[in-house]
Structure 1
């Protein structure tokens, strides 16, 4: 029977903090890599993350903090990566410790830039982690709601079902329900695409499109996602499961969604740079849009929503013009 052993969190943002809360409640000990020593000092002093989800209190005696990723990797068996995808490579460049024998869980909803790989592929191809030792964590799960202990449903994907189940056993509690899946790559790509579609939803909101059109946009987004997943990883799946459609809906509609917020600002006339500066948080869909566009140049899937968001963000085409063209293609 597989045992996750000692678990460490890699990353210091809001989703990392929410996952740390879930795990430490069950295990009463975690390692936690946070890159800045001043943040760690503040965390220890205050008993909460000084920058994210500050209402979540921790018993810091149950946490082994370190700003040295190698120290954490050496000491812990299961490594849960929760860094923004654009910064993953920079963190891993510091790595001198072999991770091929670790159980890697990626909770990163993004693609590794330049490589244009989902994170499971990156860990497998670059760090020789066997596929059976890589899992992904997906599902509709705003960190803010998890912090408030509102009922949430998470899916752990892994090609080794026993290992997936072992990690779900760590997560499950009164407010977290879990399931397992074999569709690691599909879950990861879906989690990237839903951010792109949330930006589209936000742009349309900023342009004052109403709920009627938003429903048409998202129904077309589901079909577009399904076409791409079938092309890139053709296995039997139900795209209406919570890890696909559910995650798309919450990201496209919720006020907690960074990507929707970013898109709304673009729709209202902000430039990309000014929207990023004002948000002060990463909207992963901005980076994911470019990566997905480059990937789809080889896949040739019909993806008009992705194309429209790319044209607005990277080609600087007017949102009004681009969305009008998009609306003409919908039925």
Structure 2
């Protein structure tokens, strides 16, 4: 039976904090890599992350903090990567310790910049991590609701179902329900696409489109997602499972969705830069839109919503014009 061993969190944001809360409730010890020493010292002093989910308190005696990623990688068996996708490479460049023998779990909802591939693909191709040692976390799971211990459902993807179940057991609790899947690539790409569609939903909200149209938008987004997932990984799956459709719905509609919030600001007339500055948090879908557009240049999947969001964010086409063109393509 596979044992996850000692588990470490790589990243210091809200989702990293929420996952740390879940894991430590089961293991009572984690390693935690954070980039900044001042954040670590403040965390130790006040007993919670000073920057994210500040209502979640920890017994810091159960945490080994380090700003040295190599110390964490050397000392821990399972590494849960929860850094924003645009910064993953910068963190990994510091590594002198091999990852091949580690169990790598990605909770990153974005593609690796420039390479335009999913994080598990990047770990496999660049760091020679075997596919059976790569897993991902997916599903509708706003960090804020996890912090409030509201019932959430997570799916652990891994080609080795025994390893997937072992990590699922670590996360399972009264407020976290888990299941497993072998569709690692599908889960990762759907988690990127749902952010793009949430931006589209926000743009339409900012433009004062109503709930009736939002339902049509999301219905078309599900179909678009299904076409892409079939092209990228043609296996039997139900796109209506919570890890696909559920994650899309919560990201497209929830007040906690930073991607929807970002899109709403764009729809109201904010520039991309001003929206990013005012939010003070990363909307992964902004970067995901560019990565997915580049990816699809080679795959030629029919993706009108992706194209519309890209045109608004990167080609500076008027949201009013672009969304009107999009509405004309819907039925």
Q: TM-score range by the shorter chain?
A: over 0.9
**Residue in 2 that maps onto 1:296:** 296
Tell me the matched-pair count.
331
Instruction: Tell me the secondary structure at the aligned position of residue 95 of structure 1.
Output: coil
After superposition, what is the alpha-carbon deviation per residue over 1:62-108, rounded to whole angstroms, capped at 9, x for unaligned? 00000000000000000000000000000000000011000000000
Where in structure 2 are the equivalents of 1:13-24 lying within 5 Å?
A: 13-24=13-24
Q: Secondary structure at the match of 1:111?
A: coil
- Identify the residue that residue 166 of structure 1 maps to in structure 2: 166
Residue 124 of structure 2 corresponds to which residue in structure 1?
Answer: 124
Alignment partners' CA distance in 2, 1:57 and 1:297: 45
- Report 1:212-251 matches (<5 A): 212-251=212-251
Find runs of 4+ consecutive structure 1 residues off by over 4 angstroms.
none
Residue 249 of structure 2 aligns to a residue in which SS?
helix
Distance 1:101 1:321 in 2: 51
Question: For residues 99-118 of structure 1, what are the structure 2 equivalents within 5 Å?
Answer: 99-118=99-118
Residue 118 of structure 1 deviates from its aligned partner by: 0.4
Matches of 1:86 and 1:278 in 2, distance apart?
Answer: 19
Shift of 1:164: 0.0
1:312 counterpart residue number: 312
What is the Cα deviation at residue 129 of structure 1? 0.2
Q: CA deviation at 1:132?
A: 0.2
Q: Deviations over 1:162-217 (max 9, x none)?
A: 00000000000000000000000000000000000000000000000000000000
SS in 1 for 2:292: helix
Alignment deviations for residues 225-250 of structure 1 (CA, whole Å, 9 cap, x no partner): 00000011000000000000000000
Q: Deviations over 1:47-72 (max 9, x none)?
A: 00000000000000000000000000
Please report the TM-score for the alignment, with normalisation by the length of structure 2.
1.00
For residue 318 of structure 1, report the CA deviation from its aligned partner.
0.1
Q: Distance in 2 between matches of 1:306 and 1:25?
A: 39
CA distance in 2, matches of 1:91, 1:117: 17
Q: State how 1:79-118 maps to structure 2 within 5 Å.
A: 79-118=79-118
Q: CA separation in 1, counterparts of 2:218 and 2:23? A: 33
Instruction: Give the structure 1 partner of residue 211 of structure 2.
Output: 211
Residue deviations 1:119-161 (CA, integer Å, cap 9, x gap): 0000000000000000000000000000000000000000000
Name the structure 2 match of 1:70.
Answer: 70
Gaps of 5+ in 2: none
Q: In 2, distance between residues paired with 1:163 and 1:25? A: 20
Give the equivalent residue in structure 2 for 1:57: 57
Tell me the SS of whatever aligns to 1:56. coil
CA distance in structure 1 between the partners assigned to 2:287 and 2:60 by the alignment: 34
Aligned to 1:37: 37
Q: 1:180 corresponds to which residue?
A: 180
Q: Distance in 2 between matches of 1:197 and 1:99?
A: 33
| Counterpart secondary structure, 1:112 | coil
Give the secondary structure class of the aligned counterpart of 2:104.
Answer: strand
TM-score (norm 1): 1.00
1:3 corresponds to: 3
Rounded to whole Å, the distance in 2 between the matches of 1:152 and 1:292 is: 27
**Corresponding residue SS for 2:23:** helix
Q: Which runs of 5+ in 1 are unaligned?
A: none
Q: Aligned partners of 1:228, 1:23: CA distance in 2, in Å?
A: 32
SS at match of 2:156: strand
Give me the whole-angstrom Cα distance separating, in 2, the residues matched to 1:127 and 1:230: 27
- Measured in 1, the distance between the counterparts of 2:106 and 2:145 equals 20
Residue-by-residue CA offset, 1:260-280 (whole Å, 9 max, x unaligned): 000000000000000000000
